[in-house]
Copies of this chain bind each other. A is one copy, B any other.
Amino acid sequence: MREFLGIDAGGTSSRAVLVDAEGRCRGYGRAAGGNPTSRGAGPAAAAVASAIEQALAASGGSGGAVEVVLLAHAGGHEDYLPGIEGRIAPLGVRVPVRPAGDLLALFASGTHETEGAALIAGTGAIGGVIRDGRLARVVDGTGWLLGDAGSGFAVGHRVARAVVDDLDGGPTTRLTPALLEAVGLEDDGDRVPVEGRPPVMNRLVHVLYELPPVQLSGFAPLAFALADEDPVARGIVQDAVAALAALLARVRGHQSHGPLVVGGSVLIEGVLRADPALAAPLLDAAGGASPVPVADGLVGAAVLALRAGGVEVDADRFARLASGVRAAAAAWSPRV
């Protein structure tokens, strides 16, 4: 039996799926984050190998039948691929690990078509146009400092700034007690300045500068949670939606036709679950096309693995693959 491995190596977790040429899911595995930039090349490679090992074990077979290993990741660190190859060779998998971009894998997780567009807003924000099964054009995705408008970082950063501003005498917001609790600071309500500033403000500023800046993205959910009741939180969410709508409009300026696939926690758990009035500008920018939401790029990694092996992925095979991977992911539990 011909077998194919697709892996989605994200910042939080690495997921691997073993599929056959008909798109049937034969095994699934999940391990720690596999992003070499945030985790280091060695730990990232080990996490990816662990996910692969689980998928192989679940299938009950050896790795000898695997024809293609396709790894979707954020890119820029191809030098960790040999580390993965070295770790999976003892499992019988002796083919090279092929990299693919996370944006292309996300797109291929939502459709069997090979033309269209993708928009991700997670920690970062990026859009892309796919033509002939390849990423033809990217918009934004330039990172927390230089771009990523509308991203989780952008929202969480605004949350942090709004709370510091509140404590500094700016507009009051319910984000303040929420953020102080999130970082484990007690607010005794004392606003009498010490060395010119309220003591809790000094403590918060200190705590926030201890974090790597990109971790401010962890505060983005506070803005979505409070958007219905707090004007400051609502303003932050509105600005993020406007930025994502502008990003999508620019993407669609490069796109000829095909579906729009969307992913990332800010879109899936934030914007698309928010008050419809808040999400409206983004749906307007989609121009009537109904966005296809996907959880991650794992189905797409399997699709790309099949295609790399010369297997055509039509609508039927795609549907089988997507439902099989969904079921396997839902049934998965960590080995003790």
Contact call A209/B143, Cβ cutoff below 8 A: yes
Q: How far is the CA of A147 from the CA of B140 in the complex (A)?
A: 24
Give the contacting residue for A161; candidates B128, B146, B205; CB below 8 A.
Answer: B146
Q: Which residues of B contact A216 (CB under 8 A)?
A: 145
Which of A65-73, A163-171, A290-298, A328-336 lies on the face that meets chain B? A163-171
- Specify which of B142, B169, B209 is in contact with A205 (CB 8 Å cutoff): B142
Task: Return chain B residues, CB-CB under 8 Å to A142.
Answer: 164, 168, 205
Tally of this chain's copies: 2
Residue in B closest to A213 when the chains form the complex, CB atoms: B145
The reply to whether B160 and A146 contact each other, CB–CB distance below 8 Å, is yes
In the assembled complex, A138 has its CB within 8 A of some CB on chain B: yes
Q: Report if A203 contacts B (CB, 8 A).
A: no
Question: Within the assembled complex, what's the spacing in Å between the Cα atoms of A216 and B213?
Answer: 16
CB closest residue in chain B, given A145: B213
Enumerate chain B residues within 8 angstroms of A208, measured Cβ to Cβ. 145-146
| A136-B209 contact given A161-B146, A168-B147, CB 8 Å threshold | no
In the complex, are the beta carbons of A196 and B128 less than 8 A apart?
yes
Of B128, B138, B161, which is within 8 A of A147 by CB? B161
Known: A128-B196, A147-B161, A164-B146. A139 touches B209 (CB 8 A): no
Interface size class of A (residues with CB under 8 A): 20 to 34
Closest to A104 in B: B196
A196 touches B137 (CB 8 A): yes
* Docked pose: A259 CA to B196 CA in angstroms: 19
Partner of A197, one of B138, B146, B157, B168: B138
**Distance of A164 Cα from B139 Cα, bound (Å):** 11
Q: A220: shortest Cβ distance to chain B, in Å? A: 16
Are the CB atoms of B139 and A168 closer together than 8 Å?
yes
In residues 199-251 of chain A, which contact B (Cβ within 8 Å)? Answer: 205, 208-209, 213, 216, 250
List residues of chain B with CB within 8 A of the CB of A61.
Answer: none
A64 at the interface (CB under 8 A from B): no
The residue from B169, B196, B205 contacting A146, defined by CB atoms under 8 A apart = B205
CB pair A138–B196 under 8 Å, yes or no, is yes
Known contacts A143-B209, A146-B209; is-contact A169 B250 (Cβ 8 Å) = yes
The distance in angstroms between the C-alpha atoms of A138 and B205, with both chains bound, is: 14
- Complex: how many Å from CA A143 to CA B143? 20
> Is A82 interfacial (CB-CB < 8 Å)?
no
Chain A positions near chain B (C-beta within 8 angstroms): 128, 135-140, 142-143, 145-147, 157, 160-161, 164-165, 168-170, 193, 195-197, 205, 208-209, 213, 216, 250, 253
Name 27 A/B residue pairs within 8 A (Cβ), A-sorted.
A128-B196, A135-B195, A136-B196, A137-B193, A137-B196, A138-B193, A138-B195, A138-B196, A138-B197, A139-B168, A139-B169, A140-B168, A142-B164, A142-B205, A143-B205, A143-B209, A145-B157, A145-B213, A145-B216, A146-B161, A146-B164, A146-B209, A147-B161, A147-B168, A168-B250, A169-B253, A213-B213
- Given A137-B196, A138-B197, A139-B168, 8 further pairs, Cβ under 8 A: A136-B193, A137-B193, A138-B193, A138-B196, A142-B164, A145-B209, A146-B160, A169-B250
